[in-house]
A and B are shown apart, each in its own frame.
Chain A
Amino acid sequence: MRRKLPSLVLAVLVALATAGVATAANGGFTPVEPASPNAHHIQHAYYLVLGFTAAIFVLVETLLVVFVVKYRSRGRARAVEGAQVLGHTRLELIWTAIPVVILAIIAGFVFYELPNIDSAPAAADPIHITVEGHQYYWQFDYPNHARSIGTLHVPAGAVVDLKVVSPDVIHSWWIPALGGKLQAIPGRINHTWFKADTGSYDGQCAELCGVFHASMRATVRAESQQAYQHYLTSWRGTIGKQIWNGVCATCHGNLGQGGYGIAIANNSLLTQKSGLEGILRNGFTGPGGAMPPVGETWTQEEIDALAAYVKKHIYKSAPVGATSGG
């Protein structure tokens, strides 16, 4: 029994380690698979820190366990004293100096990686896109005044410079595969960048921004140059639907049947563009509830597109008997 125990422990450890490695790619032991150079370089820094901290962790916990086992009382009386060691100056110096060296290495490596993380490649001519965080949606403005809601279209492999702003409360832009977070702070303009491989990448607002914080998701779609150009010219055709899905439906439900906000499917305001515009731009506060000025920064085109969309697809389309809630 005694002899079997160590081999059993070893087997369990090996199994755990194997399982750990097997799941490391997607089990949450490292940040998600990077798809942009800045995220790649953050990953490098992560691995370096992980290497040192894991070694220190194993050292500290092993020492603790070994001492606990080795110096346990084994029935000795409480009055029996251990070795009356008061300290050891050289040891103190060693365990002060070694962490200093390790931390200096980590800091040095961070500075070495920093240019690849913090700034976009110098030669590239970036595409400038404005990311505007709103309660509770992400709005993207493209160079030719095109706009999208919730989904950011970019050409794969192109350097994209993001100007991150907010008109209402602090939000935080984060697409894990495309690099770190950056707060969208009212009154400030922040910049970040990425260069995405082809694919679709999800993220969500990382700073508490109110009641629908959890619904404030974003997707970056890195697609071919043609698909990107196609979006820039065809955005007007879908913006009404995008706004409905990305903004209105969060509170009022997919079909306007109501949810956190009131049921609006049968509300005749949906057919009156000027009334609708007033509420979208200025918000509304009344005894029955309140609505934020979700459309305060929208263009006339967008308001028109939304008005046309809701008139056609939402008005009177919810199941009959849908109740109006508060």
Chain B
Amino acid sequence: MAARSEAAYPVGWKNGRVASWLVTVDHKRIGILYIATSLVWFVAGGILALLMRTQLATPNEAFLTKNSYNEVMTMHGTTMIFLVVIPILAGFANFLVPLMIGARDMAFPRLNALSYWLFLLGGIILWLSWFAKGGAAHAGWWSYPTLSENFPFTSPGHGQDYWILSLHVLTLSSLLGAINFIVTIHNMRAPGMTWMRMPLFVWAIETYAILLLVALPALSAAITLLLLDRTVGTHFFIPSDGGSIVLYQHLFWFFGHPEVYIMVLPVFGMISEILPVFARKPIFGYKAVAFSTIGIAFFSMLVWAHHMFTTGLPVGLDSFFMISSMVIAVPTGIKIFNWIATTWRGNLIFDTPMLFALAFIALFTMGGLSGIFLAAFPVDWQVNDSYYIVAHFHYVLFGGSAFGFFGGLYYWWPKMFGRMLDERLGKWHFWLLFVGFNLTFLPQHMLGLLGMVRRIYTYHHGGIWEAYNLISSIGSGVMGVAILVFLINVWRTNVFRKGVRAGNDPWLADTLEWYTTSPPPPHNFDTVPYVTSARPLRDLRRRLAEQPQ
């Protein structure tokens, strides 16, 4: 099937093994490129994390220098956020959205290719900054001025400029991608696929794309002003010349908080796809899950200053942002309860995707609940900028987003490559990651409450500080091993071709991407069935079972 369609194209240099990937405008290949590139940076950013945990394993350690620690810390955060979580989700969205809605491709395939190549370019620019004069950026992933300004004792050299350029390019990539997703979802759904029959992952991508469009311009504005300050002598953020640092914080976090949901809503969508399939049930409360996504997205634009409770805002503002931040916990809770209800009276099958999805619920709950402490602003004054925060956002972004996208990888791998990832290695990967993750980040809550502030390259306390830090560092090593197991699994499946061949629908799933072959042909579908519910494939299976042959 696939071979025949490819042969229909005229043979030329574009059909070469490498060249065909370089010139591709096929959403599936672009999706795979996105995911593969993100995974490379995931490994790179993970190595940076291991360097930091090695430095922090014992007090007064001298494994990294102060300067390089700040660079490593900044690059770890920036890489994981902008080069791993956002683009890997864009990769899933690229691969899945057209397939899930029964379309042939994205609305603008060439624009889609441009998005990917801009992402790669932005990433390369960021990582080239290690070689910049003065080293990589070292003012943290939010790069508050005046530390990020071009003064001798803040951020001289070009690392910060590379960081700005990289984020500009990545922003452009994400904006183009977001427009593409919105147009595709609005215009190219299969016949019969009304909004209420759309897969929940597609709902999540719709909101993800809208949030990107709303939030990213604020980031572009902030870093453009910063760039002007650094290069042409303006002083938007230099208080001694009349600028305002708090302005930067507002602009940055107006982007920065929706950003958190940009990184987690698509994963919510994946969980809402995976859980029902492995519970052999429909999602509990489809409408509640879909509308809570929109609710979260809306309120995520009204909570930004909870990142700024310690800047001395007026109590009235603090109060507003406390309440809005608490409001957002309600739709998030609705999702959690609906997911748990989805497992109720199911036929739960614990394949690797399901393990990751269940762990996602367990860990994200922890990250969500520790967030309540941060919303209550006087408590935030105590725990803000300590290791408690580091623990909190890793429970959200690793326990949440990363566990979710690993579940997604195991689930959709057969659709992407036609072969299943190995279940036994998958389970090793899962359990090592689960144990390692909790060892790493659970003790960091305690460290923060004990008074360990974030972003320090060393500490001098022994005793319980040292014990918790050492446990955390050991845990990070276990996570490193888990990722190695995953890479071996990928290698074994795709390079050695030992993975079991998957049919169209190995999991007996619900959504349209499983209607076509694995991997799908370039045009995705020969025909698309008329969609009569949110679970078109189950409908089809039932119709087939009812028809006497």
A60 CA to B338 CA, complexed, in Å? 11
Cβ contact within 8 Å between A71 and B346: yes
Q: Is A269 an interface residue (CB 8 A)?
A: no
A283 touches B449 (CB 8 A): no
CB pair A73–B349 under 8 Å, yes or no, is: yes
Chain B proximity mask over A48-64: 1 for CB below 8 Å, otherwise 0: 01101100110011011
Contact (Cβ within 8 A) A208 B70? yes
Which of A185, A190, A214 meets B458, CB within 8 Å?
A: A214
Are A57 and B344 in contact, with the CB atoms below 8 A?
Answer: no
Q: A53-B372, A208-B147 are in contact. Are A42 and B378 (CB under 8 A)?
A: yes
B366 within 8 A of A: yes
With A31-B449, A61-B362, A181-B385 already in contact, the answer to whether A118 and B378 are too (CB < 8 A) is: yes
Q: Is the CB of B284 within 8 A of A211?
A: no
**Is A76 interfacial (CB-CB < 8 Å)?**
yes
A306 to B446, CA, bound (A): 40
Complex-state Cα separation, A315 to B329, whole angstroms:
61
Among B239, B361, B451, point to the contact of A64 (Cβ < 8 A): B361
- CB pair A46–B350 under 8 Å, yes or no, is no
The answer to whether A181 and B508 touch across the interface, beta carbons within 8 angstroms, is no
Residues of B within 8 A of A185 (CB): 239, 245-246, 311-312
- Is B528's beta carbon under 8 Å from chain A? no
Which B residue sits closest to A81, measured CB to CB? B280
Residues on the B chain within 8 Å of A73, using CB: 347-350
Q: Are A290 and B372 in contact (CB under 8 A)?
A: no
In the complex, chain B residues whose CB is within 8 Å of the CB of A207: 144, 385
Q: List chain B residues, Cβ under 8 A from A188.
A: 239, 245-246, 311-312
Tell me the bound Cα distance from A307 to B227 in angstroms: 40
A185 to B146, CA, bound (A): 9
Q: Mark A199-215, 1 if CB is under 8 A from B, else 0.
A: 00011111111111110
The answer to whether B280 touches A28 (Cβ under 8 A) is no
Give Cα A283 to B279, complex, Å.
66
State which of A100-108, A153-161, A227-235, A240-248 sits at the interface with chain B. A100-108
Please tell me if A2 contacts chain B, counting CB pairs below 8 Å.
Answer: no
The count of residues in chain B whose C-beta lies closer than 8 Å to any C-beta of chain A is 91
Q: Does A21 contact B (CB under 8 A)?
A: no
User: Interface readout for A166-184 with B: 1 if CB under 8 Å, 0 if not?
Assistant: 0011101010100111110
Contact of B281 with A81 in the complex, beta carbons under 8 Å: yes
- Complex-state Cα separation, A214 to B382, whole angstroms: 18
Question: Which of B140, B382, B456 has a CB less than 8 Å from the CB of A46?
Answer: B382
Instruction: Mark contacts of B342-371 with chain A using CB atoms, 8 A cut-off: 1 yes-contact digit, 0 otherwise.
Output: 011111111000000010011001100110
Distance, CA A23 to CA B10, complexed state (A): 72
Determine if B336 and A60 form an interchain contact, defined as CB atoms under 8 angstroms apart.
yes
A3 within 8 Å of B (CB atoms): no
Docked complex: A282-321 residues within 8 A CB-CB of B: 283, 285, 290, 292
Query: How far apart are the CA atoms of A220 and B236 in the complex, in Å?
Result: 35
Q: Flag if B140 contacts A208 (CB, 8 Å).
A: yes
Which residues, 64 to 84 on A, are CB-close (under 8 Å) to B? 64, 67-68, 71-73, 76, 78-84
| A6 CB–B CB distance under 8 Å | no
Give Cα A49–Cα B325 distance, bound, in whole angstroms: 14
Q: Nearest residue in B to A76 (C-beta to C-beta)? A: B347
* 5 residue pairs from A and B, CB less than 8 Å apart: A32-B449, A85-B345, A88-B341, A170-B146, A211-B67
Which residues of B does A touch, CB under 8 Å? Answer: 66-67, 70, 139-140, 144, 146-147, 152-154, 239-240, 243-246, 279-282, 284-288, 310-312, 315, 319, 322-323, 326-327, 329-330, 333-334, 336-338, 340-341, 343-350, 358, 361-362, 365-366, 369-370, 372-373, 376-386, 443, 445-451, 453-459, 464, 468, 507-508
Residue ranges of A at the interface with B (Cβ–Cβ < 8 Å): 26-32, 39, 41-42, 45-46, 49-50, 52-53, 56-57, 60-61, 63-64, 67-68, 71-73, 76, 78-88, 91-92, 95-96, 99-100, 103, 106-107, 110-111, 113-114, 117-118, 135, 164, 168-170, 172, 174, 176, 179-183, 185-188, 190-191, 202-214, 260, 283, 285, 290, 292
